[in-house]
């Protein structure tokens, strides 16, 4: 099944629009974005530009419009449906890299849809476009088994162990915590014990 068939209007209706089956509400998502921006502010990191990879129904953009309208937002999607509805650039992160860099790169709920062969190129591209914080969320085998509400989660994904992701991320990023990462190519602005590891 290609992206056109998989990420159609029905997919977004089920997992994002319908309150009975949505994986997350706007109010719940707003707490996440508020956390990321508060973390940046606390650490004196200016966010003037955001790249939202797999922007979906536009939850990050909606929060930015309401709370940080001066931030330059770029959204990308593989779904032509979402690109038509929201004006995103149609891009596949495993095959596309912008010449621009961004103060915050968001890749939320995308990596579990990418094949093993495409995961490394996708992470390479994310790292090259990051000039600051990177927020990555990916569902793991343990999440599916222990944390996900299976009635609200798309389980038709590539299921990987958390250790697999950590090893893949470690090439380019240092984990800061709670989904936030910092590119290894840029000097760390954090205290040593604020990061998860320096391997």
pTM for this entry: 0.95
Instruction: State phi, psi for 90 to the nearest 5 degrees.
Output: -85, 110
What's the mean pLDDT when you consider all of the chain? 95
* pLDDT for the residue numbered 5: 74
* pLDDT for the residue numbered 6: 86
Kindly state the average pLDDT of the residues 89-97: 97
Return d(Cα 134, Cα 197) in angstroms, integer: 16
37-46 residues labelled b (16+ CB within 10 A) or e (exposed): bebbeebebe
Q: What is the pLDDT of residues 110-162, one digit of tens each?
A: 999 999 999 999 999 999 999 999 999 999 999 999 999 998 899 999 999 99
Q: Does the pLDDT value for residue 45 go beyond 90?
A: yes
Q: Does the pLDDT value for residue 92 go beyond 90?
A: yes
Question: What share of the chain has pLDDT > 70, as a percent?
Answer: 96
Return d(Cα 3, Cα 195) in angstroms, integer: 36
* pLDDT for the residue numbered 164: 98
Beta-ladder partners of 107 = 53, 136
Show the CA angle centred on residue 67, arms to residues 152 and 104, nearest 5°.
Answer: 75
Q: What is the pLDDT of residues 72-88, one digit of tens each?
A: 999 999 999 999 999 99
Return d(Cα 181, Cα 105) in angstroms, integer: 10
Q: Does the pLDDT value for residue 199 go beyond 60?
A: no
CATH number, domain 3-108+129-185, options 3.40.50.150, 3.40.50.970, 3.40.920.10, 3.30.420.40:
3.40.50.150
How sure is the predictor about 68, in pLDDT bands with cuts at 50, 70 and 90?
very high
* pLDDT for the residue numbered 1: 57
Kindly state the average pLDDT of the residues 57-72: 98
Q: Would you give the distance in Å from CA 58 to the centre of its chain?
A: 12
Instruction: State phi, psi for 72 to the nearest 5 degrees.
Output: -80, 125
Kindly state the average pLDDT of the residues 26-44: 97
């Amino acid at each position: 099944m290609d992206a056109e068939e998989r990420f159609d209007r029905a997919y977004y209706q089920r997992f994002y629009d319908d309150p009975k089956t949505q994986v997350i509400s706007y109010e719940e998502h707003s707490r996440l974005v508020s956390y990321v921006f508060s973390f940046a502010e606390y650490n004196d990191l200016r966010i003037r530009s955001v790249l939202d990879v797999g922007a979906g129904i536009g939850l990050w953009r909606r929060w930015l419009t309401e709370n940080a309208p001066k931030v330059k937002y770029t959204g990308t999607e593989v779904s032509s449906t979402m690109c038509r509805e929201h004006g995103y650039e149609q891009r596949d992160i495993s095959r596309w890299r912008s010449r621009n860099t961004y103060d915050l790169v968001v890749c939320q709920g995308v990596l579990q849809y990418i094949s093993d062969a495409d995961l490394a190129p996708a992470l390479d591209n994310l790292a090259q476009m990051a000039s600051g914080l990177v927020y990555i969320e990916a569902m793991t085998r343990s999440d599916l088994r222990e944390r996900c509400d299976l009635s609200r989660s798309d389980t038709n994904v590539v299921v990987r162990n958390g250790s697999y992701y950590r090893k893949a991320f470690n090439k380019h990023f240092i984990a800061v915590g709670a989904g936030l990462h910092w590119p290894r190519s840029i000097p760390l602005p954090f205290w040593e014990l604020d990061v998860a590891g320096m391997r």
